[in-house]
Structure 1
Amino acid sequence: MKTFLDENFLLESPTAERLYHEYAREQPIIDYHNHLSPQEIAEDKHFSTITEVWLKGDHYKWRAMRANGIPETFITGAADDRKKFVKWAETVPYTLRNPLYHWTHLELQRYFGINDLLSATTAEAIYERTNIALASPGFTTNGLLTQMKVEVVCTTDHPTDDLAYHRLHAEAGRSLKMLPTFRPDKFLVIDGADFLPFLGKLETIIGTSINTFDQLLAALENRIDYFAAHGCQLADHGLGQLYPVDFGTVKLDDILAKAKNKSPLNSEEVAAFQMAALHELGKMYHQRNWTMQLHLGALRDNNQRLLKSIGADVGCDSIGDFDQARGLAAFLNRLDREDKLAKTILYNLNPRDNEVFATMAGNYNDGTLPGKIQWGSAWWFLDQKDGMEKQLNALSQLGLLSRFIGMLTDSRSFLSFPRHEYFRRILCNLLGDDVQRGMLPNDLPWLGGVVEDICYRNAKQFFDF
């Protein structure tokens, strides 16, 4: 019987152990997609309690606590930090076989040296011990990232953000590189509740009204250049799906006018506007050698009660069952036909689409660089052991695993970076298992080099950081 979470956790063969410990473990981290707070990084924040750094904003934990029957006051409500932590600790034993059980104890081990299992019995002692550690100099936001050998973090930022904290961080001269990511979703979903408020913000920033589609594009390009001046090299889009529509003859100005007048829009108008705007943005990304990320397939904010009382992004999203292949192919093909397709990373949320996305990525490589079109790491509900293994296996069989740019946290938590370790152990175990079964040669220097590439070097080369 193996010991829980020992040094060879998830490593089931001697080859896997060597691949991880000799090649993967010490690789630096490039976290090219997350939702960390730029302000907290720039100000090098000290967190007052483990609850503040661990539970605030973590909708994974919130979902588990609700499923365990914990009242909302102990999740996002008015209860104090100690009581919230105790309720989380009470929930942890019930998360067995959920990735939260592994992540929780990995984070306690890696950041705090705590090997005790978190439960109602150990909650008070662990609360006190972690809070003492968080008060020490090495446990600021930058200190926590340094502990995990993080070189680059790419935050997720609205086009209307002033990026003041990115400037502040850059001026501090720290070794950690923090770069913004351009996320224009609010301007693509024209029938969304946020479209008009953000359009108003954009008009204020550029100092003029936006009444035509071309004016909107010009304003967004203005912000793209502003982001580029602050080191931005990536754009990101979180959409349910893309649409196979021909928007060439659509009167986009009329659609924008209807939205501004709060007139109802039909589904054809919404789809045409989204795809026309995304197409033009894609060309702007290509011109600047940015990377375009497409996160597709989430069905968001399903619980209207919590949406009204707490807000969006509180753990009430689900996997959507959208049609993905035709719209994605039409979008990529249109840009590729014009020779305007940027480096692209595709992420699916529905596991049924694994092979669709893996094969779609292979359609549009053009020889300009290895793996120009990437099928990204298992995302959100899929970033657990089974989901990662399925993604890695499908990519291996339908693409080039060796050119994969690896893992990211996609997290709001500064304690989430052991997820990179989790991924690396799973990767090494898969390769080690192939060696043990005679499916790959027992050539550790070669395989170790592939592991180092996937964990670090491929991303560094892909993004040219």
Structure 2
Amino acid sequence: MTQPWILHEDRALPADPVTRPIAREVYQETKDLPIVSMHGHVPVEWFADDTPFPDPAQLLVVPDHYLLRMIVSQGRYGLNELGVTAVDGSLPTESDPRLIWRRFCEHWKSFRGTPTRFWTEHELVKIFGVTQRPSAETADAIYDRIAAELATPAFRPRALLDQFDIEVIGTTDPAWASLEHHQRLAAEGLGQRVLPTFRPDPLLQLDNPTFTHDVLATGAAAGVEVRDYPTYLDALRAQRLRFKAAGALATDHGCATPDTTPLPDDDAARLFDAAFNGRPVAAEQVTAFAAHMLFQMAQMATEDGLVMQIHPGVERGHSREMTRRYGPDKGYDIPFAVEYTRSLRPMLEAFGHHPNFRTIVFTLDEDVYSRELAPLAGVYPAMRLGAPWWFIDSPEAMRRFRETATETAGFLNLSGFVDDTRAFCSIPARHDLARRIDAGYLARLVAEHRLDLDEAIDTAKDLAYHLPKLAYEPR
């Protein structure tokens, strides 16, 4: 008889017999702390409408680009065969959720050694009570088990907030959002638990094909008629305040680079007017305007107190053909090397000691942790260093982060863990993995007599819970 699938209680903790018992003790103190999920992408509509999830494939596979990209990389199935609809309708989309689920289970072996494996097995076993490892043979039985759970009230979005013990979750909303869903949640008593986050990226990129439309839509949402550069800035300020009134604590900037060099106002106005009125703007001018506007966003943050999250260094839609066909966020975003010291200097010189300015800087380029980011976070009061995210929220990368950043930045200049995900059910798994890795790192410091056990436990609680709350504390 096949043994039921269970997860080892010590998974991701240190293997050596000296630090493992210490890590267990530290982890026990953090594993049940509430989740603070301030940097995420779960759609606000899920919570506002609170409708049941349709099926296992639509919940766990189709929206999760980590799963999709790995399966596609094996060359057997395309995105359309995994339930992703082509933007132009040029390809038939697989609509049978059971078949999509089977294709995922067939590829379970592909996820060995990846953090996706850890997150997904946590979801399946701990959340849905699955007792069989995914495979072509077990796919249908697992599907039926999850589908039965999804049919119950306990697995609707708001109920899962309680089941996952999520104290607060930030959604990411376009700058022109009406915020009607957040207003509905506030009226129903969830306004302090599900918070909007202002994402203005399309409004700062003059080469955005829908730049004028997006700017006008933001102005309309803010009640500002945008005619020129000054009214454009007015609309941004007004919409930020609308977001803050709806509970927002942060803005989110997925810029190509962290350059914050401001332009003379006349130059910025000239470039804006050209793009706004459909005239071509040279590539170097697009880049210069984006840097200028990142500086302007920092200036506005000193006024309204919203935390400025900066996460650059990603070539969005690396495959132009796949992006054209399926749209963004389908697994084709690829990191590249980024320079921070000179890029952030204009912003930090201007606002790095401002009492009302706070920024959290992330990276996908691990080389800069000890050379640039930890030293910056270790001296500027306004800056915190963001946790490993996206491709590096993995066991080995999180260990490397602790080893390369802590000695310069300490622990208190960090933001704590953020999950940065659209995959709702992976949130508790991601936080659990981060808490296990932190427990292991802190256990080594205890074993080496660099920390006492009580200090390690206190620090673990900070990293898991107190620092994320402090980093986004309302002002």
TM-score between the two structures when normalised by the length of structure 1 = 0.92
Query: Once the 2 structures are TM-superposed, how far is the Cα of residue 462 of structure 1 from its aligned partner?
Result: 3.0
What is residue 447 of structure 1 aligned with on the other side?
456
Alpha carbons of 1:142 and 1:414: their partners in 2 closer, same or farther (altered >3 Å)?
same
The root-mean-square deviation of aligned C-alpha atoms, in Å, is 2.0
Give the Cα–Cα distance (whole angstroms) in 1 for the partners of residues 265 and 184 of structure 2.
45
Ranges in structure 2 where 5+ consecutive residues have no aligned partner: 15-19, 86-92
Counterpart of 1:17?
Answer: 24
Paired with 1:235 and 1:352, the residues of 2 have a C-alpha distance of: 26
Q: Distance in 2 between matches of 1:243 and 1:343?
A: 17
Q: Which residue of 2 aligns with 1:263?
A: 279
Report the alpha carbon displacement of residue 327 of structure 1 after superposing the two structures with TM: 1.2
Which ranges of 4 or more aligned residues in structure 1 deviate by more than 4 Å? 206-209
Specify whether residues 312 and 175 from structure 1 end up closer, same or farther in structure 2 by C-alpha distance, changes over 3 A only: closer
State the AA in 1 paired with 2:105: A
TM-score by length of 2: 0.90
In structure 1, distance between residues paired with 2:110 and 2:365: 25
* Structure 2 counterpart SS, 1:60: helix
Q: Which amino acid aligns with 1:398?
A: T
Where in structure 2 are the equivalents of 1:169-248 lying within 5 Å? 169-174=185-190, 177-206=193-222, 209-243=225-259, 245-248=261-264
By how many angstroms is 1:171 displaced?
A: 1.5
- Find the counterpart in structure 2 of residue 369 from structure 1: none
The residue aligned with 1:350 is: 365
Equivalent residue in structure 2 for 1:55, among 56, 61, 64: 61
In terms of mean alpha carbon deviation, does 25-34 or 102-111 score higher? 102-111
Distance 1:175 1:252 in 2: 37
Q: Distance in 2 between matches of 1:249 and 1:130?
A: 56
- Which of 41, 44, 47 matches 1:35? 41
CA deviation vs aligned residue, 1:248-292 (integer Å, no higher than 9, x gap): 365222111211232222244223322332222212212222211
Q: Deviations over 1:219-257 (max 9, x none)?
A: 111101111110111111001103364513652221112
1:435 equivalent in structure 2: 446
Q: Aligned equivalents of 2:305 and 2:217: distance in 1?
A: 27
Distance 1:432 1:327 in 2: 36
Partner of 2:408: 398
Tell me the distance in 2 between the aligned counterparts of 1:112 and 1:440: 40
SS in 2 for 1:118: coil
- Matched residue of 1:326: which SS? coil
The SS at the match of 1:167 is: helix
- State whether structure 2 residue 313 is matched by structure 1 residue 293: no
Do structure 1's residue 166 and structure 2's residue 216 form an aligned pair? no
Q: Secondary structure at the match of 2:343?
A: helix
Distance 1:284 1:448, change over 3 A: same
Q: Secondary structure at the match of 1:69?
A: coil
Matching of residue 376 in structure 1 with residue 383 in structure 2: no
Within 2, Cα distance between the matches of 1:175 and 1:347?
Answer: 27
Deviation at 1:434, TM superposition (A): 2.5
Return the match for 1:74 from 68, 76, 81: 81
Q: Could you tell me how far apart the structure 2 residues matched to 1:115 and 1:394 are? A: 39
State the partner residue of 2:160.
144
- Structure 1 residues 200 and 403: alpha-carbon distance in aligned structure 2, compared to 1, 3 A threshold: closer
> How many residues get paired?
453
